[in-house]
Amino acid sequence: EAAVTQSPRSKVAVTGGKVTLSCHQTNNHDYMYWYRQDTGHGLRLIHYSYVADSTEKGDIPDGYKASRPSQENFSLILELASLSQTAVYFCASSDVSGFGEQYFGPGTRLTVL
Amino acid sequence: GDSVTQTEGPVTLSEGTSLTVNCSYETKQYPTLFWYVQYPGEGPQLLFKVPKANEKGSNRGFEATYNKEATSFHLQKASVQESDSAVYYCALRSGGSNYKLTFGKGTLLTVTP
């Protein structure tokens, strides 16, 4: 069965600090995604990637960077964390040969103080 | 761009009653439509998908028909159970090669015994 794992599962960061969220998939999928989830906004796409060493901006990329060093791994980087980036972050993957259904990880709860 | 609008929550129902979550969408390309479900503490997971107009998708007693003329994809269940308590997301993937999904804001369903 498809598997997407995220680390850490929760994190407390200080304003202005650097935060790295990691995602690993064993699905052999080409596409990987980072979303944030906030009450009243649902899931919003931050960055995505369709091949290693390349990333694309999603709908809300400001304040975030992404890195895809291999097919299996996709990181989200907050260089200068801010209070407004407190949210739950989800990673997902999808297969180019399917209908585009995405498989999600369990999420990372980030609190910026 | 693409957009998805669904029933604003939260929705509270008694066990055994029927559920309808409205979903409408806008896209200039041919869509593939999805319903995702997110249980507490987990990432979203695919409930079912419908890639063709006027076809029905179903899973776990939930169903939805892709109405191309009305650009709608309402989720229905005849008799909800307490275990159906979750957040439900309508999503669409429009034609194209980037495999992005556009999600609605989600509808929180609570089913009381």
State pLDDT tens for residues B16-75: 999 999 999 998 888 889 999 999 999 999 999 987 888 889 999 999 988 888 889 999
Q: Which helix (H) or strand (E) holds A90?
A: strand A87-94
Chain pair A-B, CB pairs under 8 angstroms:
51
B15: which 2 tokens? 């066990």
Q: Is A48 on the interface with B (CB under 8 A)?
A: yes
Mean pLDDT of A20-35: 96
Q: Give the separation between CA A66 and CA A22, rounded to whole angstroms.
A: 10
* Cβ within 8 Å, pair B100-A105: no
**Chain B environment of A104 (Cβ under 8 Å):** 43-45
Split at pLDDT 50, 70, 90, the class of B96 is low
**pLDDT for B91 beyond 70:** yes
Rounded to 5°, the CA angle A101-A36-B34 comes to: 25
* Cβ within 8 Å, pair B99-A43: no
DSSP state for residue B79 in the 8-state scheme: S
**Chain B environment of A96 (Cβ under 8 Å):** 99
Q: Give the separation between CA B77 and CA B64, rounded to whole angstroms.
A: 9
